[in-house]
Structures are given as structure tokens and as C-alpha cells.
Amino acid sequence: MNEEYIDNVKHLIEQKDADKVKELLVDLHPADIAELCDDLNPEEARFIYRLLNNETAADVLVEMDEDVRKEFLEMIPSETIAKRFVDYMDTDDAVDLMRDLDEDKQEEILSHIEDIEQAGDIVDLLKYDENTAGGLMGTEMVVVNENWSMPECLKEMRQQAEELDEIYYVYVIDDDERLRGIFPLKKMITSPSVSKVKHVMQKDPISVHVDTSIDEVAQTIEKYDLVAIPVVDSIGRLIGQITVDDVMDEVREQSERDYQLASGLSQDVETDDNVLRQTTARLPWLLIGMIGGIGNSMILGNFDATFAAHPEMALYIPLIGGTGGNVGTQSSAIIVQGLANSSLDAKNTFKQVTKEAVVALINATIISLLVYTYNFIRFGATATVTYSVSISLFAVVMFASIFGTLVPMTLEKLKIDPAIATGPFIAITNDIIGMMLYMGITVLLS
């Protein structure tokens, strides 16, 4: 999908040469066609979609970039969206598509869906929070009753499978639709035909509740090496399943959001977003950083006499600020990672702070001794800068480590994304506190 290929497609679209465009698309995977459409304007993408069959068009739409897809859908009538795309999508994909649209557009599309059961499933799924298992699951799956015999089970499985693209697991329910187990396909071949499903099923399958967070769903799938996981309601009834491909999409998006948040971006942005959106995403933390810088200058401005007496102290301002920011970012990054993969519990704050304090003590001692040695050689043993910089560095490293540990764990307890603690927030705070410690210790030792 290089630039030459895309330019060729654009030229053929401009020439309205549908036959040649169709030849180029025939061997492409839906994900590749979606990537192509992301590089086209909405009108050119619309030309592409007219050449695709309904099933391929639906698959391509699912794979498209969300912003491009939203812009594309705004050009298309609701009836066309319903009958050309939604009718050929799994419910979880249809819900993802619908969430991008406003409520009026959603209602219009739902009114044009001929399959009332599918429309009802979509309405039900839209009620769930998109960051929970309920908002991510699909309702397409093979389900059998625990009291069925093997021939009856096989017959029903064949009928249900005709409507599905992929079969991951066959779920077993009781008469009240509660999840009881998973039916191994191998047993269908090796078990006697007189056996009932409940006698050969794998009992107590791994499942998640409808309100389970996506992060926890992803961790469960990873822990037990699953390709899909059933979703149950508060009384254990089977209501859907989540497949690993949907989870990976969500994990990737969450990672991108956390990375941008840690980088000081206040909203989700892409490289192809317009100037206004990119500016508004970057400006808030830059303004906060500017205020922090002014605060630093005000702190330093109160110590004119100290700098006049010891001008060499100014040489170490970048060292103090940079070291504090780096140490704080390192500590917070480790904590955020631990909270994200559940290897760390926010309840163990004291234990983690103690551990971080020991690590900080070792690091602070080594760094301080190295700086002391350098200043001892350069300025001599009696110079104020020799011991004040080393003591200040020791204090800054200790504070930054503990602060970088406490902040993300506190944010986690307050249900705020702790990723914010790995970004400018930590760096700015440590910079200001570091300067206060540096100048305060220098004054005391002068």
C-alpha cells in the first residue's frame, strides 16, 4: 500500500474507471481496503464502497479509522447504513459503529434494520458502558442446552453455525439460560450418541461479568490463554462473548491514550488531525508548564543574595530539576505499569512506598557521592557548592521517588487514570519542589 499504488487508485477514481479499480481491489483483504480508504477523501472512499459487495463493505467499514469512518458515515443516508452495512455486521461491530454517531442518527438507522432481533441486541448493547465487558461483547455464538442428546446437539449446532463467521467455543446453558460449561468438539466425535451434553461438558468455565472492566477482561484472557470468553449477567445467565481480536483492539487504543496522556496531551489526537485539534490537545499542559516555570523563576528570584555570594550554584539548577523529573517519572512509570497489569494492588501503598524508599536511598547515595567527588575536585572541600549540591540531590531524589510512587497509587484509588502521573504533572511538581529544596538547603548551609 505504497504512495504510488494510492496515487494510481486516485487517478482511476478521477477517471471513473470502475472496472480497473475493482480489479485492484479484488485480491485485497478488507483491512487493506480500509487502509486505502483512510488515505482517500470521503468522496473517493464512497466510490470504492460502491464497488464492494455488502459483506466486504461491512468488513471494510469495521476496519476503518474511527475519525475517517465517522466522516464517511455522515455523508450516507441512515437507510443505506442499515441495509448496506449493519445488516452484515456482528452485533459488537455494529455497536462500535453506532457509538460514533449521535442519538438521532442511531434511531434512524435502527428503524431501518429489518431483523428486529438484531436491532434489539444492538439497543441492549448500546446501554452498556463502552469500557466494560457488556459494551465490548457480541451476541453471536453457538449455545446448546445441557439436557440435549448428542444428535440433538449436533443438529442445533449446525443450524446456529450457518449464521456465524467464526466459532470459538460452544457454550452450554441450563433451562434458565445460565452458563454451565463449554462443550468440547472432540467429545461430539468420541462420546456415545446416547450421552447428554451435561455428562461430557467442561464445567465451571472462565467467564466475566457484564460490568467487568475491559482491562480486567484482557488480563483474564491473557492469563488463561483464551481466544474468547463468555459474558454473564448478575444471576449467571449467558448473554454474550468477547473475542480476543476485540480485546486487542481495545488494549491498543487504551495504550495509545495512556501514552498520549503521559506525554502531556489532554485528548486523543492523530498525526493527520487538523491544526486546531492538535493545538487544543497540547496547549493545556504547556500552559501549566509555563506557570510552573514562572513559579520556579519566582522561587529563584528570592535568592539573589545567595547567587551573588555563590554564583557557581546557578550551574546546578538544570541538574537538580532534571534529576528530580527523571526520578519521579521512572518511579511513577513503574507504578502505573504495575497497576495496569495487576501485578501491584493500590491497597499495598505503604509496602510499595517503603520498597521505593530503599531503592531511592541507594540511588540517591550513589548520585550524591559522584557529584560530591566532582565538586570536591573542582571547588575544594570547604566550598558551599561542594556539599550543598550533594545534599540537595539526595533530598530531591528521595522526594521524587516517594512522590512518584504515591501520586499514581492515590489517583488509582480516586478512580482517575494514573497514567497522568507519568507525564508533565510529575516533572513540573518535582521541578518546583526540587528548586525549593535546593535553595533552602543552600541557605541553611551558607
Name residue, grid cell 494510481. Answer: 8
Output the pLDDT for position 227: 92
Name residue, grid cell 480508504. Answer: 37
pLDDT (average), residues 357-379: 93
Query: 73 and 102 in contact (C-beta within 8 Å)?
Result: no
pTM to 2 decimal places: 0.69
pLDDT above 90: residue 171: yes
Stronger pLDDT, 38 or 346, i.e. the higher one: 38
User: What's the CA gap between 347 and 412, in Å, rounded?
Assistant: 10
pLDDT above 80: residue 193: no
pLDDT above 80: residue 195: no
Query: How confident is the model over 391-419, as pLDDT tens digits?
Result: 999 999 999 999 888 888 888 888 777 77
Query: 69 and 49 in contact (C-beta within 8 Å)?
Result: no
pLDDT above 70: residue 212: yes
Q: How confident is the model at residue 432 (pLDDT cuts 50, 70, 90)?
A: confident
**Strand-pair partners of 237:** 178
pLDDT above 70: residue 138: yes
Share of the chain above pLDDT 70, in %: 95
Stronger pLDDT, 74 or 345, i.e. the higher one: 74
Query: How confident is the model over 52-95, as pLDDT tens digits?
Result: 988 898 899 888 888 788 888 888 889 988 988 888 888 888 99
Output the pLDDT for position 434: 87
User: What's the CA gap between 23 and 18, in Å, rounded?
Assistant: 9
Q: How confident is the model at residue 192 (pLDDT cuts 50, 70, 90)?
A: low
pLDDT above 90: residue 245: no
pLDDT above 80: residue 270: no
Nine-digit cell string for 191: 462420546
pLDDT above 80: residue 425: no
- The residue length of the chain stands at 446
Whole-number average pLDDT of the chain:
86
pLDDT above 80: residue 423: no
pLDDT above 90: residue 174: yes
pLDDT above 90: residue 374: yes
Strands 208-209 and 202-203: unpaired
User: What's the CA gap between 77 and 96, in Å, rounded?
Assistant: 18
Strands annotated E in 169-209: 170-173, 179-182, 202-203, 208-209
Name residue, grid cell 449521535. Answer: 102
Query: How confident is the model over 90-131, as pLDDT tens digits?
Result: 888 899 888 888 888 889 999 999 888 888 999 999 999 988
Q: How confident is the model at residue 272 (pLDDT cuts 50, 70, 90)?
A: low
pLDDT above 80: residue 202: yes
Q: How confident is the model at residue 428 (pLDDT cuts 50, 70, 90)?
A: confident
**What's the half-sphere exposure (Cβ side, CA atoms, 13 Å) at 34?**
17
Output the pLDDT for position 264: 65
Q: 418 by DSSP, 3-state: which?
A: helix
Range with the lowest mean pLDDT among 10-24, 36-50, 266-280, 369-383? 266-280
Q: How confident is the model at residue 269 (pLDDT cuts 50, 70, 90)?
A: low
pLDDT (average), residues 16-33: 89
- Domains delineated in the chain: 1-130 (1.25.60.10), 140-242 (3.10.580.10), 273-443 (1.10.357.20)
pLDDT (average), residues 235-259: 85
User: What's the CA gap between 168 and 154, in Å, rounded?
Assistant: 16
pLDDT above 90: residue 361: yes
Q: How confident is the model at residue 267 (pLDDT cuts 50, 70, 90)?
A: low
pLDDT (average), residues 261-288: 73
pLDDT (average), residues 157-175: 88
